[in-house]
Every structure is written in C-alpha cells, then in structure tokens.
Structure 1
Amino acid sequence: MNIMNKVTLQAMKKNRVRTIVTIIGIILSAAMFTAVTTFCSSMYGYMREYFAYDKGDYHVSFSGCSSETIDKIKADERVSKAAVAKPIGYAEAGSSNADKPYLYVLEADESFMKNMPVHLTSGRLPENENEIILPAHLQPNGGVSHKIGDRLKLTLGRRVAEDGSELGQNNPYSYDEEKLTADRIWEYVVVGFYERPGFEEMIAPGYTALSLLSEPLREGETYDAYILMKNPRKNLDAFAEKLSGAFTEASYQTSLLTIDGYSVFNNYSNMLVSLAAVFCVLIFIGSVSLIYSAFSISVSERTKQFGLLASIGATRSQIRRSVLFEAFALCVCGIPIGLLVGIGGMGITLWLCGDLFKSVLDAPFGMSFSVSWQAVAVAVAVAVLTVFVSAWIPSRRAMKISAIEAIRQARDVNAGKKNVRCSKLFIRLFGAEGMLAKKYYARSRKKYRATIASLAMSLVLFISASGFCMYLTKSAEDIFTEKSYDICYRDLSAQNYTEFAAGAREYFDEITFCLNTLDNSFVYLPEGDTTAEYKAYTEAQRSAHEGLLKVEQNCFAYYIDDAAFGRMLTENGIDADAYFAAEEKLPVMLNSGYDVVYSQDNGENNRRTYNYSFVSDGVTTLMRAKPAPQLDGYILDGMFWSGNETGEGVLQYYYWPAQEEDADGGSSSDGENSSDGEDFESSGIDFFGRPIDQPVRPVEYEEIHIAATVKTAPAGIDSGRAMKLILPFSAFKDQKAFNEGFMNVYICADDPDKAENDVKSVFETRGIEFAPQRLYNRAEEERTVSNMIILVKVFSYGFIALISLISVANVFNTVSTNVALRRRDYAMLRSLGMTNRGINRMMNYECLLYGTRSLLFGFPLSVGMTYLCYLSAAEAAQMSFTMPWTAVAIAVVSVFMVVFVSMLYSTSRLKRENPVDALKDENI
C-alpha cells in the first residue's frame, strides 16, 4: 500500500463520525436500490407466473393453421415453445344455462396440457383421444352432473349462422339465429375435472372439454397454435407477418406480452417506459442526495486536508487517486452490508406480506422472494457510481485552488462587502443568537448549501413520488373501468315490479329498477355549450377516423324507480323533495362520458381512454333530432353529415328505395341500388355506403329542457359514449305501456355470491317465475378488474412509503452530520458564555432557514417532476394536470418536523460534550 492510501485510511480513522455517517449513507443507498431491484424481480416473476397460470404461458395464438404451418412454427428458432389444439366440435350438453347450451370438445397435445391453464380438481389428464376431462363449472353453472368413469356419447358438429358462416367460442349463443350441424358421433370416458380455463371467454356458448391430440398431425386438418416467443418485443411482429395468410385469426395474450416488454398498443408502451424512467430518476436522485450530502457537507475539511497534502508535494493525480481509494474503501465497507440489508429486508417483507398478493389477485399462490444476479448487479453498479461521483465533486474543488488557500480555507468563509443587518422583529424573535446564526450562514454558505440541497431533494422525492403514484393509479382506473353493479336480473316483467321490489328491499339497500323502454335519438350539442374535454375527445375521434367530419352524439332516455332516482339526486346535492313536488318532471342528464379511441400514428397502434363532461355547468337545454319524415316509396336508412373538412354543412337523413317482393318471393328495388356496395360507382353508393342521387332531408331539431346535470348515476347506468337522460317511473305517462314493459334489476352488494342466492329467494318467496339464464353475476369479471387496481395502489403506496423513509433518513443524516462537523464552532460559542438556551435559539433559526430555503428550491422542482409524470400518464388516458396537494401539505409539515427532531437530537449530544475537548480536536 502506498503512502497516499495510508494517509487516506488514517484520515478516515481520525474522522470516525464522518466516515461512519458516510458508510451508513452508502449502506442505506445500496439497501434501497437492492430492495427496489429485488422487489421488481420478485414482482416480475410473480406476475408472469400468475398470468401464465391464469391465461396460459403463450404470447399469441393462431387459429386455422395447417399441419405444415404448425411444423414451421415449431421449427422457427424465434419460438420458445408451442402448444397445439384441434377443435373437434360442439355437442348438446343438456345445460340449464340458456346462454351456454353446448359442450365444446378440444383435442390438445401434451404441451397444451402443461403450458395452458389446465388445472385438475380431481382425476387425471387424458392419455388418448378416447378420454376426456370436463370443466368443473359444468355442474354449478350448467346443472349437468357427471362423475369420473362415466361414458359420454356425443353427437359433435359445427355451429352455423343463418348466413352460413361458422361460429366459434368467441361468438355468443344466438338462439334461433344459429343451428348445430351433426358431423360425427364419438364416445368418451370421463377421467377428470379441471378448473374453468382462462382461455374460455365469458361469452363462450360451450363448456370446454379436453381430450388428448393424436400424433402425428394430419394433412387437411386445421389446428390452433399457442406460441411463446423468445423475445416478443423484437420478434413477434416479424414472426406474425411471416405467417400472414397461414392462419385465419390471431389472438394476443396482452397480459403476458406486457410483462415481457411488448404492448399491442404503442402508446401504452411509451407510457410504461416513461413512467419507469421517472421512477428510476426519483430513486437515483434519492440515492445521490443521500450519499453526496455525506461527502459535500464536509467540503471545507476535505479541502484543508488536500491542501496540506499538496503543500508537501502531492500531485493532482495522487490526490485524485486518494479520493478514488477513499471511495473504494467506503464501497467495500458499505455496499456488501447494504446488499445484505436490502435483500434481507425485502425477503422478510415478502415473507410477511407475500400472501396479500394472493388475495389481491385471487391466485392460488402468493408472491415468493426471488433474487436475480441482474437485479443485484444493477444495485451494485448504481451504488458504486453514486459513491464515486459524490467523492469526485469535492476533490475537483480542492485541486483547483492553491495549497495556501486550501489550508487557510479562504474560500469557505466569505466576509462580504456588506454587513448583515437584522430587523427589530428578527432580534425580538431570535435574539442575538439568531443574529449570530444569520451572519454565520451569510459568511459560510457552503456549509449550509449541501443541507438545503439535500432537504430540497427530499421534498422533490416525496411530492414527485406521490404525483407518480397518483397518475399511475388514475391511468389504471381509466384503463380498467369498473361497472356500477354486481348482480343483474334481465327482463323482469313490469307487472311483477311492485311485488319483487317489496321483497328485494328486505335484502338490499342499493337496488335499481331500469325500464327497458329506451328512447334513442341524436342530440346536437352547440360548440359553446360543450366542455374542453369533450372537444378534445371529438377531435381525437376525427383524427382516428379519416373522413369523419363530425362526431354524432346519441342520447338514451332511461326510466328508473323513484327510490333510486331520489337517491341519485341526493348523492349529487340536488333537493329530491323539490324535484318530485314540481308540476313537470324534467329529465336529469348524466354529464359524464367515457370512450376508448383506437388510432394509428406513423404506423403505431394507440389506445387512449377519454373521460369527459359533455356540457358546461349551467346548461339546461339540449337540441334533439325530430323523427325523420316518411317518404312514399322509400325507407329511412340513416343520417349523415354533408359537409367539408372545416365542419360546414348540415346533418341529413338519407333513404333507400323501398323493396318490393318479386314473383319468386325475392325482393327487388328501383334503380341500381340493390348491390351489396362493393362497387361504389356501378351500384350508385358512395364511400360511406349512402345512395347516390336518392332523396335526403335535413334533420330538424326540438328543444329538450333538463332539470339538472349529475356526475354519478344509480347502478346499471354507467358512463359511456352515449349521453344519458334519466327520469323516474312517476314521469312515465302511459301506464298501460309501462305494465306491458320489461325492466332490468341492478344490485350492488358486498357479497355478490350471497346476493345471487338472495335474489333467487325473493322470486321463490314472492311466487314469481324465475329464469336462471336472466341472472347475471359479474363478480368474477369485476374481481379481476378490481384486483388490478388494488395491485397498482399497493405498489403506489409501497413506493411512497419507501421514498418517505429515504427522505427522512436523508434529512436526519444531513442535518446531524452538519451539526457534528460544526462542533468546534459551537464549542467556541459556549466557551464565550453562550447558554444552552442561546444554542436552542440558534437552532430554531436554522430550522426555519433550512425549511424555507428547501421549500423555495424544492417546490418548483417537484412541480416539474410531477408534470413529467403527468405527461407520461397522459399517453394512455385523458386527464388534466394537478398537483398532489395532500402530499404537498404533508411534505411541508414533515420538512420542519424532521429538521427540528434532527436538530434536537444533534444538539443534545453537543451539550453533553466538554468545550475544551471539542476545541482541541479538529477531527470528528
């Protein structure tokens, strides 16, 4: 070891407090980064395992593939693994669920059984094509009971629509509009039951039964391939393009693709990448400020040391190597401990809280702790980089000045040309001690600069992290939109309304009856009445759909029961009694819209959600289109906007010639307009399918007066693209038409499964006929959406908690180190007669100084960082910029509180020291 390294080690030993504080800072920084990287590694592994378990371990599926195509897929080096299935057909299942009458038989290979969500509840997997496993929900959902060992003789066939097209699992049951064609009869032996598979959609008309696919694949048969790519972000698009035309349909497993770095929608990828970048910047700022403060706060002491070394012949390169050696020595001491603390802390945290993720995602397993070498390497690299940068900056200052200036510390104390003046109010508040502290700050600003900078960074960290989580949660809530009800019973006869309502209200507090008689019409919204958010939405629609000159706005009228209507008015701050007492009951408008706009920009696919208010506050009149006039010999076919690109023009109804039956029972029409529209010129229709040279009539409007606008509506009436007008049953004037109608019943319940049984009990006790196919429990669908939002919130609050701990540790470390480095200054003041009360008054002034200066610099920076978070989140969802004001208030209070506690702790140690000993010792 050379002499410079020995001197460096001796200096570190003599300045034990400063060295220990710096090592603690490195330990905290390394532990923080290790905890974050290992948590991300564990979260990635858990989420990937969950999506593979729930939906299947594949990225994309291709339907209608030939055996030759399957061989090409398996041989492609970009494919990690491929599972193959062959649709056999549908058979009558004897189900009591009217929407799911079939058994859908699928033959699957061993890879499918292993990598797709085939989770046995009893029995075993099929071992040949004559054995079959049935879904476990066939009995509770369809009322069909089987047991292991049963023999099923199935008449298998295809579902065919009226137009001759073949229907699949993605097409819901269409009752009389489809038929089942029998192709073959096959007998199976039931060998097991498995959980409802994730690849079976909620709308699927068939319960999926699985048998084993026979090998080898036969020519002339079609198969489905489920493919896991090696690098989907790099290979998936090119792979799909290469196979273009070799399959009939492609389906993407978006959840697993997102986890593996690929997004179907480019703006979602941009949002996730930019949010991750902001997240990393926040963590890096916290790490840098934590370590750098420990170095830079003692710049004057380090400057003096470097000056002494330079005066005895040390060169700049030797001083530079000395600094690097010190940083290396500190890293050797701090980083390994930090790694162990971070890994151990996160391991204990996940051991205690891992099962929480199990309940959040409704998964059969919790999050397990996993450490990847990449995560540890990133943590080590960042910690080492931070330490060396933090040590390098002070050394550059020392090397730029002469040895004499460094020893005298001439640049550390700036007397200034002007005297520091204090007002009478200042003297009264802080006394002579406060004035002394103010002058000390004015002439030794560099000793305070690092502390104020560190406090400002802590403020920026906390506010920016809160803004980051606020926008992340808002984006998730917009993307995963939740419905407003849990249970729905469709088509309840209005004649049974009174009886059913009396029984249902004994079980449910929040229930809504919505009459199915809907009035659907077009509404004209004058530009001056619409909001800025709605204008942005319509502009996005026009941009996404070329040739769309005007966005049409449909309006639906809903009639709901008076109790639900009154509850809605009260929740929105409207006097319900005054409304029902009025002579005329005007509609109330739900002034809340939601839509998703899909667009392409420079070849990139984008999906963006829009939440908006339709009209501005105070609007009480809408313009509704009058019914279209009837024209002899023509039938109404729709409306269109006849205008130019600037939006000038009118909305018009357009008509087709009325068709007449010919002698053969077919139909014919006047002119050339009986074409299907593929040849626009010869058929006499334009690009939009409208007849050319046929009658059109301008749309006329009538005024609709509304009583008020509301932001929230009862269960079952959700925000959507269409505008909604809501009226109570008592406003329905035709009682005969009311009694002949049907209504939907929407229920909100804490326990949807229990509520479903309660609904059945109401039908039974009230003697009303119950149709099980009309009861819809959306708990399973809603649980997934709700769990995703909860997961985002758990992550967000955990991140805020982590940043809060970093900020508090940073402030405490910085303030206590600052006070410790000035122990000789305080000892000198005490030797001159300053009492503990006087030192306290100095500390009170410094607390205010630290707090106000850190707010002055930190708040504008936090606004900028929060705005960057907003820009990232706005990639995928429309929202307005706002600050997390609750977090701002907490940060302001916390800055002064933490600084005060840190000062109190530090000065209590100084007061116990002997001033003479402190004056004699230049080291800390």
Structure 2
Amino acid sequence: MNIFNKVALQGLKKNRTRTIVTIIGVILSAAMITAVATFGVSLLDYMTKGAAKKYGGWQAAFLDVDSSFVQEQQLNKEVKDTVTFENIGYAALDSGSDPDKPYLFIAGYHPETFDALPIPLLSGRLPENSGEILVSGKVASNGGVSYAVGDTISLAVGSRMKGDEKLGQSDPYTAGDETLLPEAKRTYRIVGICQTPVFEKDSSPGYTLITRTDTADTADNLSLFVTLKNPRQVLSYVDTAADGHSYILNNDVLRFMGLSDDPSDQIFNGLLYTVGGIVIAIIMIGSIFLIYNSFSISLNERTRQIGILSSVGATAKQLRNSVLFEGLCIGAVGIPIGVLVGIGSIGLVIIVVAKNFGTLLYADVPLTLHVSALAIAGAAAVSIVTILISAYIPAKKAAGTPVMECIRQTNEVKMESKSVKTSKLSQRIYGLEGILALKNFKRNRKRYRSIVLSLVLSIVLFISTSAFVMDLKKASDQTKMVTSYDIGFGTQEMDDGEMLQLYDKLKNADGVYESSYQAYMEYSCIVPADGLSEDYWESAGGRSPDEISPDESPDAMSADGTVHLSMGIQFLDDSAYLGILESLGLPEEEYTGQSGKIIAVAKMQSNSSQVEKVEQLRALFTDPSMDFTIFPQTNNGSETEIGQNVNLTFVDIVPPDTPPIAGTVEQTPYFFQALAPWSLKDKLAPSDSPADVRVKGLTFQSENPSKSTAEMKTVIQGAGITSAYILLNTSEMLEESRNYVFIANVFAYTFIIMISLIAVANVFNTISTNIKLRRQELAMLRSVGMSDRDFNKMMRFECVFYGMRALLIGLPLAVVSSLLIHRGMFIAGADSIAFALPWASIGISVCSVLLVIFVTMMYAVGKIKKENIIDALRDDMT
C-alpha cells in the first residue's frame, strides 16, 4: 500500500463519525437501488408467471403446419415442449355482421391442449367429446350472431381455397379471391361460451369454436405451440425454424421479458424502464449530495495537508487516486451491506403486499421475491459509480488548487464585505446573535448548499407523494358510490318468470340480508314546449321556443309546438318502491294502484364536480307535476303507435342503481327517469309490447359478497340458465381500488422514508462537520465573553435560516409537483377529483426540517462546548 492510501485510511479512522455517516449513506443508497431493481425483477417475474397461467406458457405458435413439421420441432434441441390442435376446418357464419370475419373456425383440442392453452369460460363447461363444442363470445359481440348453451348447430365444414392454395387462420379474408369448399357435415351441441382464444387475431377470418379431437380424424393440418428451453431465444428460434411458415408470438407473456414484437408492448417496456431509471436517478442524486459533501468536507479539513504533499512532489493524479481509494474503501464496506439490506427490506415489503397483488391481478400466482444476479450486479455497479462521481469532483478540485493557496488556506472564503452586509432593520430584529448567524450563512453559501438541496428533495418527495396518495384515496372513496348494491345480476333476454324464480333462489344465498328486483325500459314522451324550463332551452343556445326551428331543437320539436323527449321507467319491486314513497313522505294511496300517480326525477345534467346533491341540479320542467303521454321504444329506437297517459310527480332523489348492463348508454343533456312499482309493469309494458328493455335483473346486499357471489354462480349454473347475463360483485371493484391505494402507500412511503434517511444523514454529516471546522471561530466568540445563552441563541438562528431557505424553495416546488401529478391523473380520467394540498404532510415537513437541523446542530455544538477554549484556538485543524 503506498503512502497516499495510508494517509487516506488514517483520515477515515481519525474522523470516525463522518466515516460512519458516509457508510450509512452508501448503505442506504445501495439498499434503495437494490430494492428498486429487485422489486422490478420480482414484479416482471410475477407478471410473466401470471400471464403464462392465463394465456399459456408457450412462446411461439405455427397455425398451419403438417405433422412432419411438428415432428421436426419436437426433435429440435432448443424446444422444451410442444402441443398441437387439429385445424378441422371452416364453416360459413350466416348473417354475420363483420365482413372481414365471415367464417367459423373449428379447432380440435387434444386433452393436453386444454392444459397448455387455458380457455376462460364465460358460461357452461368444456367439451368432453367430439360432438360438443365451445363458442367464442366474440361471435355474438362482434359477429352479431347469438348462440346459447344447449343449442345444436349443424355446420358444413370445409377448406378455404384460393385457386389451388389452401388458406388458414393466418391468411386474412379477401372477398372475391377465395371460396369455401365444404367437405363434411358436422353437428355439435354447444356446451359453453368462452373468451376469445389468444391465438385468434383480429385479422383472422374465422371466429374460433373448440371441440375435442376425434380419434377417427386423420387430417394433417395442425396448429403447433412451442415452449422453448430458453424463452429469450424465441426471436432467433422463429427466424430459423419458421422456414416460410407463418407464426405468432405469445406477446401477452413475452412483453414482460422485453421480447414482444408488438409496438404497444415496446412502449410498455420503454415506460417501465423510464420510470425505473427516474427512480434510480433520484436515488443517485440524493446519494451524490451526501457522499460528495462528505468528501468535500474531508478535503477541506486536509487542504493544508494536500498543499504540503503537493509541495514535496505529489502529482495531481496521485492526490485524486488517494481520494478515490478512500471512496472505494467506503464502498467496499457499505455496498455489500446495502445490497443485503435492500434484498431483505424489499422481501418484507413483498410479503406485506403479496395478498393485495393477488386480488388485483392473478389470484392463483403468488408474488414472491425473485433475486437476479444481473440486477444485483447492476445495483452494485450503480452504487460504485455514485461513489466515484461523488469522490472525483472534489478530488479534482483539490488537486487543481495552487500549492500556496492550499498551505495558506486562502481559498476557503473569497468574498467582499458587501456580500455579508446586513441592514439596520435586520440588526434590530435579530440582534447580535442573529446577525452573526446570518453573516455566517451568507459567508458560507456554497458549503451549506447541499444541506438545502437535500432538504428540498425530501420536502418535494414527501409532499407530492402524499398528494398523489390522497388523490388515490379520493378516487377510491368515489368508487364506493358507484352502486348501491354489493352484487348485481343483469340480463336483457331472460323471461320475467324465469328471472323471478332465480331470484327466489339467489336471495337465500349465505350472507345476503337485503335483495330487490327491477327492470329498466326505454320510453319517449310528448311535452308542450312551454312546459320545459329555461335551463332546458339554454342547451339550444339560450333562445326561446318561438325562436328555434324544429331542426335546431335539442330534441325533435313538432310543428304543433311539442317536443319529443327520451325517458326511462325503472320498475322496482313493490316493497322497494313503497320504501322510497315513505322516505319522501308521499301518501301510499295516491302513488299505488293501476291509476295511481308515478314519481320521477327530471333534471338537467351538470358538468360541475361541485354538485353534491340532486336538489342542486336545475329542473327540466316548469311544474312540479305534469300529465304525459308515453310511448314504449322498440329495439330499433322507434316509437310504438299506442301511447298511455300517466301523471308524473317530480321528486329530488337519486334513483336506485340499475343492475349491471353491457354496452354504453346514450348521453343526453338532461336526466328524465320515472320510478314505478313492479305491479304496474304489465300495464305500462304489456308482454306483447315491443318495448326495448335496456336491462332487468336482481340486486343484493351481502355481509360477505365474495362468498355470496361464489354460491350464486353455483346456483345459476345448476339452474341451467341459457340467456346471456352478467353477475357482478361490486365489492371486488372497491377492494381492487383499496388495494391500489394500499400498494401505492407502501411503496411510496418506503421510498420516501429511505430518501429522507439519506437527506437526514447528509444534513447531520454536513452540519456536524462544518461546526467542527468552525471550532476556532466558535472558541473565539466564547473567549471574548459570549455566554452559553447567547451562543445557543446564535445557533438557533442558524437553524432557522437553513430551515427557512429549504422550506422557501421546497414548499413551492412541492405544490407545483403535486399539481402536476393531479393534472396527470386528470388526463388519465380522474377529472372529478378536486385538487387539494396535503396540509398535514406540509405541517409534518415544516416541523421535521426544523427539528432535524436543530437536533443535529445542538449535538455538534454540545461536543464543541465540552472542549477547552485554549486548545480549540490553537488547533489548526490539520
């Protein structure tokens, strides 16, 4: 070991406190970088396993190959496993609405194929023989052709031909250039409806139907799914193995490995690595502040020593290497400990949030700690770079300082007297002690800049992250008002009698304590123009009905001065309707029976997020009660010719939520909805009426919604329901929102705490060492008669000046950062959340900043006070 390295080690041993604090900073920095890298790797591993569980673990698929190609790939050394299904053929889809998908594609699965290619069922079960079949839900949603479980279908199955060329699922449909050549008649019984298989692309010409392979079939047209021994070689594998065959990649899995060829997945990976890079950059900046400041102070102490070494022949390179050696010694101790602390801490965090991740994403796949040697090596390398940067900058500065300046230390303070001049007002306000503190702060701006920057970083992170979490909590609270029930069952096609029979079974599910049934139907009504409020006509430009032509009216205005409005009637079970009447204080005898009045809510829509009560909305009509002629609307949106007269009384309530419904609802500038008892449904919507039922269904309140939903699913499957329906557990949505907030809280505050620890270590290191560097100055003040009381007062003023400077910079930046985060959420769709500052977090930041500075300074001053004044005056700090 050369003399310069020995001198560096002696400096570390001599200043143990600063050395320990610097090592702690390195540990925190390495721990955070390791934690970020390890969590990122663990999360990607979790997402990869979850996607493989959901979509299958294969990496590449060849959709139209023969058995010889399959055998060749099975013998390939790169291939771990293969599964196939038989491409049985195509059948024409009669009355399909998508011109680019005019076919049904029948796939024959082997038993092992069902395991390798998971099929999420929407209803029913898997096929058990070659006479049963699953139908993709896309046939109804995109193709416009509905099939129900239990239906029997007969298909003329054959091949798509383009001249002599046989086409497959990889070949898009080209009208006029291809023909369907029927080869056999097949009959299937539909036993289930499933989600669209992952291998069916938007460009595929046929909707997929899945059956079991018949052992009697000997067709040599197969689809092959390949799992590789090393998934990361998938791109090179398909380049060599495809040999002219078209292929697809399992991008749902490969995107989390960074291997997807989908442009949107490349954007996802770019965003992921960008966020990770920003987090690591923030950690590095905070760490560089701490470690740089430590080496800078160390060199300030050793300025004269450096000058003497330079005067006897030490080169700038030797001096720089000495400081870098000091940094490597600190890194050799801090980085291994930091890596272990980072792995251990993120392991504990993962244990805490694992259950919530399972609820959000993949319930059957556990989130576990995944340690990657490459990630650990990267974290260690980033930590070493951070240390070397922090040490090199002050080392280069010291090595470039002239020898005589180092020996005389004339470069410590270079400023004119006017730079530290204070006003008479300041002298009156602060007194002598305050002026001394203020002058010292002005004289040493550069020395204390890192203190202020470290505190500013902590303030901005803490407040802006608190604001972000507060916005998440507000969003979570708003979701609690999405529905007034825990479990909803919605349908359009089910017969009323069948639905009510099902209701009698479901309401007895374990945990259900309140239940109801209802139907929502579309109507229109004729309203005199003068019966509509001024607020309504404002939507037509603020003009009166006489100034508006029928073509300009918000709704169609007839020549006789009437307006056709859309409305809905919500038929509630009688007990729920009577409960609403009781809450409104309306007489039951007037609002029940076949000739009774009907209550309705008629309000203009508001775009303001400040409206909290329905009474604050503007009325749609001028009178509190009116007579209307209503017409049921048919499925194509037209009115029936026969209308019925009803008397509506307008009330200020929020109607009960309707059962879950598929599709979107047309938006109007007003809300017009009547509430009627179920006993009036046969009168207002006779069974032979062509009225459009938007949704009908059942709603339930439960003490344990998850358990009740599971039991209801069993009951529905056992009842053999063939109509399309939606069973929604709204509490799962609320739980998902709460889990997002919880996970955001855990990771955000873990990150803030560790960054704040780095800032506290920086502040402690800087203040305590700078106080030590001022031993002579402080001893001189005490020697000329400054009392302990005045001395403490001066130091308290210094605390206030540091804290106020950090707060004056940090608080505005934190507010701007919080506002930008809120605006980001606004763009993402959280536009109903009002911006609010986290005042509690701001108060905590103010108190914490002042407390950290005060405690650190009092600690350092306490040690100075214990020293002998004469010894301190004689000490030249060399």
Is the aligned partner of 1:800 residue 2:748? yes
After TM superposition, the structure 1 = structure 2 runs for residues 264-279 of structure 1, keeping only pairs within 5 Å, are: 265=264, 268=268, 271-279=271-279
Q: Which residue of 2 aligns with 1:587?
A: 602
Aligned to 2:160: none
Is residue 518 from structure 1 mapped to residue 522 from structure 2 by the alignment?
A: yes
Q: CA deviation at 1:711?
A: 13
Distance in structure 2 (CA, Å) of the matches to 1:365 and 1:444? 57
Separation in 1, partners of 2:24, 2:504: 67
Is structure 2 residue 69 aligned with structure 1 residue 58? no
Q: Does 1:408 align with 2:423?
A: no
Counterpart code for 1:493 = D
Give the Cα–Cα distance (whole angstroms) in 1 for the partners of residues 785 and 579 of structure 2.
72
After superposition, residues 625-644 of structure 1 pair within 5 angstroms as none
**Corresponding residue number in structure 2 for 1:849:** 801
Residues 799 and 752 (structure 1), Cα distance of their counterparts in 2 relative to 1, 3 Å cut = closer
Q: In 2, are the aligned partners of 1:358 and 1:364 still within 8 Å (CA)?
A: yes
What is the one-letter code of the residue matched to 1:858? G
In structure 2, the residue matched to 1:4 is: 4
Q: Which of residues 179, 199, 211 in structure 1 aligns to 2:153?
A: 179
Displacement of 1:287 = 3.2
C-alpha distance in 1 between matches for 2:305 and 2:238: 61
> Using a 3 Å threshold, how does the CA distance of structure 1 residues 309 and 860 change in structure 2: closer, same or farther?
farther
Contact 1:566 1:576 in 2 (8 A): no
Question: Among residues 844, 851, 869, which one is paired with 1:893 in the alignment?
Answer: 844
Q: Is the Cα contact below 8 Å between 2:25 and 2:290 reproduced in 1?
A: yes
Letter in 2 for 1:915: E
Matched, 1:493 2:502: no
The 2-side partners of 1:281 and 1:12 are apart by 28
Which TM-score applies when normalising by structure 1?
0.62
Q: Is the 8 A contact 1:9 1:326 kept in 2?
A: yes
Residue 533 of structure 1 corresponds to which residue in structure 2?
Answer: none
| CA spacing shift, 1:275–1:159, aligned 2, 3 Å | closer
Q: Which residue of 1 aligns with 2:109?
A: 107
Mapping of residues 134-153 of structure 1, within 5 Å: none
Q: What secondary structure does 1:585 align onto?
A: strand
Q: Counterpart of 1:459?
A: 459
1:222 Cα deviation from its structure 2 partner: 4.2
Q: Structure 1 pair 441/257, CA: closer, same or farther in 2 (3 Å)?
A: same
Work out which of the residue numbers 866, 870, 875 in structure 2 matches 1:914: 866
The 1:405/1:710 distance shift into structure 2, 3 A limit, reads farther
Q: Structure 2 vs 1, CA of residues 499 and 209 (structure 1 numbering), >3 Å: closer, same or farther?
A: closer
- State how far apart, in whole Å, the 2-side matches of 1:771 and 1:865 are: 56
Q: Deviations over 1:204-259 (max 9, x none)?
A: x99988789999x842x343646779459978999999979x58xx7966366346
Percent same amino acid at aligned positions? 25
Q: Name the SS for the 2:448 alignment partner.
A: helix
Give the conservation status (yes or no) of the 8 Å contact 1:79–1:227: yes
Q: Are the equivalent residues in 2 in contact too, given 1:299–1:394 (CA < 8 A)? A: yes
Amino acid at match of 1:848: V
Residues 588 and 726, structure 1, Cα contact 8 Å, conserved in 2: yes
Shift of 1:584: 7.4
Among 669, 673, 681, the residue aligned to 1:727: 673
1:644-793 to structure 2, matched below 5 A, reads 716=660, 720=664, 722-723=666-667, 725=671, 727-730=673-676, 736-738=682-684, 740=686, 743-749=696-702, 751-756=704-709, 778=727, 792-793=740-741
1:37 aligns with 2:41: no
Judged with a 3 Å threshold, the aligned counterparts in structure 2 of structure 1 residues 568 and 22 are, in CA distance, closer, same or farther, namely farther
Q: 1:557 aligned to 2:505?
A: no
> Separation in 2 of the partners of 1:51 and 1:185?
35
Compute the RMSD of aligned alpha carbons.
6.5
Q: Report the CA distance shift for 1:418/1:460 in structure 2 as closer, same or farther (over 3 A).
A: closer
Letter in 2 for 1:417: K
What secondary structure sits across from 1:885 in the alignment?
Answer: coil
User: Which whole-Å CA distance do the structure 2 matches of 1:847 and 1:20 have between them?
Assistant: 24
Tell me which amino acid in the other structure corresponds to 2:109: E
What is the distance in 1 between the residues matched to 2:241 and 2:739?
32
Aligned to 2:203: none
Question: Residues 235 and 416 of structure 1: is their aligned pair in 2 closer, same or farther, counting only changes over 3 Å?
Answer: farther
- In 2, Cα distance between equivalents of 1:381 and 1:728: 68
* Structure 1 residue 790, shift from structure 2 partner: 5.9
Separation (CA, whole Å) in 2 of partners of 1:34 and 1:172: 53
Instruction: Measure, in 2, the Cα distance between the counterparts of 1:802 and 1:387.
Output: 23
Q: 1:340 to 1:501 in 2, by over 3 A?
A: closer
For the residues of structure 2 that align with 1:154 and 1:791, how far apart are their CA atoms?
44
| Conserved? CA contact 1:464–1:865, under 8 Å | yes
Q: Is the 8 A contact 1:300 1:409 kept in 2?
A: no
1:849 Cα deviation from its structure 2 partner: 2.4
SS in 1 for 2:600: coil
State whether residues 515 and 744 of structure 1, in contact with CA within 8 Å, keep that contact through their aligned partners in structure 2: yes
Query: Shift in Å at residue 456 of structure 1?
Result: 1.1
Letter in 1 for 2:802: Y
Quote the Cα distance in structure 2 between the aligned partners of 1:54 and 1:42: 18
Query: Secondary structure at the residue paired with 2:314?
Result: coil
1:781-829 CA-to-partner distances (Å, cap 9, x unmatched) read 985x777656654542232122222233123212222332113254554
Q: Once the 2 structures are TM-superposed, how far is the Cα of residue 70 of structure 1 from its aligned partner?
A: 5.5
Equivalent position SS for 1:371: coil
Cα deviation, residue 341, structure 1 = 2.3
**d(CA) in 1 for partners of 2:731 and 2:257?**
21
Answer yes or no: is the 8 Å Cα contact 1:462–1:803 preserved in 2. Answer: no
Q: Aligned partners of 2:834, 2:241: CA distance in 1, in Å?
A: 42
Contact 2:33–2:342, Cα closer than 8 Å, also in 1: yes
C-alpha distance in 2 between matches for 1:871 and 1:235: 43
- Contact 1:331/1:387 (<8 A) preserved: yes
What is the match of residue 766 of structure 1?
none
Q: What CA distance in whole angstroms lies between the structure 1 residues aligned with 2:787 and 2:658?
A: 68
Letter in 1 for 2:379: A
Preserved contact between residue 85 and residue 107 of structure 1 (Cα < 8 Å): yes
1:873-921 deviations in Å (ceiling 9; x for gaps): 78976869987732x7515522432441453255246425522165566
Q: How far apart, CA to CA, are the structure 2 residues paired with 1:505 and 1:166?
A: 32
Q: In the aligned structure 2, how far is the partner of 1:770 from the partner of 1:212?
A: 30
Q: CA deviation at 1:326?
A: 1.9
1:193 maps to what in 2? none
Summarize the alignment of residues 109-124 of structure 1 with structure 2, pairs less than 5 Å apart.
112=113, 115-116=116-117
Pick which of 269-278 and 860-869 moved more: 860-869
> Where does residue 121 of structure 1 map in the other structure?
none
Q: Is the Cα–Cα contact under 8 Å of residues 86 and 219 in structure 2 kept in the other structure?
A: no
Deviation, structure 1 residue 270: 5.6
Structure 1 position 864, deviation (Å): 6.5
Closer, same or farther: CA 773–36 of 1 in aligned 2, 3 Å: same
Is contact 2:12–2:19 with CA below 8 Å preserved after alignment? Answer: yes
Q: Secondary structure at the match of 1:747?
A: strand
How far apart are the structure 2 equivalents of 1:527 and 1:239?
A: 65
Residues 449 and 58 (structure 1), Cα distance of their counterparts in 2 relative to 1, 3 Å cut: same
CA displacement 1:539-591 (0-9 Å, x = unmatched)? xxxxxxxxxxxxxxx98735264998999999xxxx97799999973435676
Aligned length: 741
- Secondary structure of the residue aligned to 2:519 is strand
Q: Runs of 5+ in structure 2 lacking a partner? A: 91-105, 157-183, 188-193, 200-206, 526-535, 543-564, 592-596, 622-628, 640-647, 688-692
**Is the CA contact 1:67–1:222 (under 8 Å) kept in the aligned structure 2?**
yes
For residues 755 and 744 of structure 2, the distance between their equivalents in structure 1, rounded to whole angstroms, comes to 16
Alignment check: 8 A CA contact 2:85 2:108 kept: yes
Indicate if the aligned counterparts of 2:30 and 2:379 stay in contact, CA closer than 8 A: yes
Task: Name stretches of at least 5 consecutive residues in structure 1 with no aligned partner.
Answer: 91-103, 119-134, 147-151, 187-195, 530-553, 594-612, 628-634, 640-652, 654-703, 764-768
TM-score with structure 2 length normalisation?
0.65
